Amino acid sequence: MITGLAHACFTVSNLEQALEFYRDQLGLQEAFDFVNDEGRRFGIYLHLGGRNFIELFEGTLEAPATGQSYRHICLEVDDIEATAATLRERGVDVTPVKLGRDQSYQAWVEDPDGNRIELHQYTPESWQAPSLT
């Protein structure tokens, strides 16, 4: 049976620039590298917490998967106002925090390649609340 989302994978145009964003600005922890036979790192796994990861591979962004419908990933945060403030201090452009239709708080950021990332904080009234464990 499916038990959760293991990771989201992104192709990035510049791995070091993406690492500056995901590791240094968002604060994710490096888990392990993908290294080719010549010893060059071409990918990395970043730990979000729990059993959740983001995987980055350096490559061309010119040919996304045919018909791909990816819109964004959503990262749960424990205090959205504090998280947004910390990210702004680190130089990340964060939208104002707002209450979404689903009664959860949200704010948005983009990585250096323009991939959209939603920051999400559940509330007791969140529509997702009955399914949370």
Across the chain, which has 133 residues, the per-10-residue mean pLDDT values are: 83 94 96 94 93 90 63 92 97 97 95 92 93 84
Phi, psi for 95 (deg, rounded to 5): -70, 165
- The closest alpha carbon to 102, from 79, 132, 81, 70, belongs to 132
Contact 53, 31 (CB under 8 A): yes
pLDDT of residue 133: 76
| Strand, coil or helix: 80 | helix
pLDDT of residue 62: 62
Q: Domain map of the chain by residue range?
A: 1-59, 72-128
Residues listed for the chain: 133
The CATH number that domain 1-59 falls under is 3.10.180.10
Contact 55, 43 (CB under 8 A): yes
Query: 72-128 falls under which CATH superfamily?
Result: 2,3-Dihydroxybiphenyl 1,2-Dioxygenase, domain 1 (3.10.180.10)
